[in-house]
Amino acid sequence: MVKILYPQKLRNHFSIKLKKKFIQKIEFFVEKQCVKNQK
């Protein structure tokens, strides 16, 4: 498992980065949907 290899701090940093990317993707998708609905 990757969890065992990585120290806790590094894992936290990595998961935060992933969450940010994920949130950005969702926001981007929502924006696109809003634009579609406005037309």
pLDDT digits (tens, 9 = 90+) for 1-39: 555 666 778 778 888 899 999 999 999 999 998 888 876
User: Which of 29, 6, 7, 21 minimizes the C-alpha distance to 37?
Assistant: 29
Distance CA(4)–CA(22), nearest Å, equals 24
pLDDT at 39: 66
CB 31 within 8 A of CB 23: no
Q: Residue 11 contacts by C-beta under 8 Å, 6 or more apart in sequence? A: 3
